[in-house]
């Protein structure tokens, strides 16, 4: 059940059997991804989770974690301490217990709509590649050659196979090792056991999701209903009925590198529109801020606001009659307004740096209206520049000895408090 709250302002801003006579060019592997995944964990001599560099000092991260108490009501609660936003050990804990567990949005189905399409990405120290094979099946793998760890693919596009740029080991789009060059004389090696290491993949609407958790066996593309329940919970119907679907036309992508902790950007998004009338006056003029409301679900918060009158002499209106802003924990935001949908994916690059990826989609009837698209993107860019200035200023303040903890504005910052409580819950496990 959702918790619904009304507020006075609005928001906007994842067998070692040997070959008796190995050759430099081997036939196609018959090993499937599940077997390669199993072999990988049987042969590798390191823990199943190798992502948390701060395990050598777990007490330090635990101390930082418990400086926030999620049981205290928002009216009395302190915000998390500044160390949550500045300490590299705390970020390592977040990567291991938040980003490397559960479903994470990583891209769009539009990027892999045709056979041989692929795109790459990085989450923490996990390099991945998503591709669609010749039969149309969707796959995801660690984007790492099994020979000497070179990255295999870069960017996005189309490939018939993945050829390592280092020593030309070649993999099929199903992850099978097709060719291992110059391995004459090698012992205790089977080409069928050195395919790419697979990852769990799923789709919901226009989005591609990955589950990096090593405890989850990527036997096949995950069941959509199960993924929907795990990722969106009881908010899924509201999002589907709110126009978040695959019917829109993809327009473009923009990326921003911001000098702030990833949570600073999320907090800014989740402050209940508190900052909008002060920092985004152009945006505020197009919204009825007094109609703002917030609904909170298991791992999602949805904020909405009625559109206002910009007072322009022309008919330009990118915001429409209602705006919906959905935050899907931990780092994905969906903004649906007028004919537009844009998404914001926040990726940590360090304790004080993140990358935010904006993807824009538009109602198909307007996809050829270049003037409308250009002007809309200009307005959006202005808001992003304003938010970047705010976020980088907050990060500098968090690093000041003058600040430790703050307070919540109880009538507007409920979604932010919800986010912090979810983080504490996951980090405590």
Q: Which residue has the higher pLDDT, 40 or 186?
A: 186
Q: What per-residue confidence (pLDDT) applies to 221? A: 64
What is the spatial distance between Cα 92 and Cα 95, in angstroms, rounded to a whole number? 5
* Token reading at 26: 């081997």
Does the structure show a pLDDT above 80 at 316? no
Between strands 340-350 and 332-337, the pairing is: antiparallel
What is the spatial distance between Cα 32 and Cα 256, in angstroms, rounded to a whole number? 38
Helix (H, G, I), strand (E, B) or coil at 171: strand
Helix (H, G, I), strand (E, B) or coil at 415: helix
Distinct helix (H) and strand (E) counts, the chain: 10, 18
63-92 tens-digit pLDDT:
899 999 999 999 999 999 999 999 999 999
Task: Calculate mean pLDDT across residues 338-352.
Answer: 97
Region of poorest pLDDT, from 97-111, 143-157, 300-314, 341-355: 300-314
CB-count burial class (<10 Å; 0-12, 13-18, 19+) for 366: middle
What is the spatial distance between Cα 153 and Cα 147, in angstroms, rounded to a whole number? 15
Question: pLDDT-based confidence at 28, cuts 50/70/90?
Answer: very low
Task: Calculate mean pLDDT across residues 234-259.
Answer: 94
Q: Which of 183, 217, 177 is nearest to 201 (CA)?
A: 217
Contact between residue 229 and residue 209 where contact means Cβ atoms under 8 Å apart: no
């Amino acid at each position: 059940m959702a918790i619904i709250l009304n507020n006075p302002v609005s928001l906007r801003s994842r067998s070692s059997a040997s070959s008796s006579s190995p050759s430099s060019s081997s036939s196609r592997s018959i090993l499937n991804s599940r077997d390669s995944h199993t072999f990988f964990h049987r042969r590798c001599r390191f823990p199943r989770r190798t992502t948390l560099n701060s395990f050598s000092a777990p007490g330090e991260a635990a101390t930082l974690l418990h400086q926030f108490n999620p049981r205290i009501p928002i009216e009395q609660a302190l915000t998390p301490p500044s160390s949550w936003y500045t300490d590299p050990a705390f970020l390592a804990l977040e990567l291991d217990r938040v980003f490397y567990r559960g479903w994470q949005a990583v891209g769009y189905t539009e990027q892999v709509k045709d056979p041989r399409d692929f795109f790459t990405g990085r989450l923490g120290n996990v390099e991945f590649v998503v591709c669609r094979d010749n039969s149309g099946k969707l796959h995801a793998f660690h984007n790492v050659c099994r020979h000497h760890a070179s990255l295999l693919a870069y960017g996005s596009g189309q490939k018939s196979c993945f050829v390592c740029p280092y020593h030309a080991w070649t993999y099929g789009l199903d992850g099978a090792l097709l060719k291992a060059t110059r391995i004459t004389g090698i012992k205790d090696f089977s080409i069928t056991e050195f395919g790419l290491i697979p990852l769990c993949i799923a789709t919901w609407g226009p989005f591609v999701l990955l589950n990096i958790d090593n405890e989850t066996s990527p036997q096949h593309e995950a069941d959509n209903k199960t993924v929907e329940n795990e990722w969106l919970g009881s908010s899924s119907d509201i999002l589907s009925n709110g126009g978040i679907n695959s019917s829109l036309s993809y327009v473009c992508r923009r990326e921003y590198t911001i000098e702030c902790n990833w949570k600073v950007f999320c907090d800014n998004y989740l402050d209940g529109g508190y900052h909008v009338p002060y920092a985004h006056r152009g945006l505020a003029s197009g919204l009825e801020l007094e109609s703002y409301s917030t609904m909170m679900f298991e791992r999602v918060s949805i904020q909405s606001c009625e559109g206002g009158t910009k007072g322009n002499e022309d008919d330009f209106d990118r915001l429409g009659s209602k705006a919906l802003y959905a935050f899907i924990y931990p780092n994905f935001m969906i903004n649906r307004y007028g004919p537009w949908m844009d998404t914001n994916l926040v990726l940590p690059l360090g304790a004080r740096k993140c990358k935010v990826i904006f993807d824009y989609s538009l109602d198909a009837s307007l996809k050829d209206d270049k003037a409308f698209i250009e002007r809309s993107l200009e307005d959006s860019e202005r808001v992003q520049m304003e938010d970047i200035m705010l976020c980088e200023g907050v990060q500098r303040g968090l690093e000041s000895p003058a600040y430790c903890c703050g307070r919540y504005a109880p009538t507007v910052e409920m979604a932010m408090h919800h986010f912090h409580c979810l983080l504490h819950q996951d980090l405590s496990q």
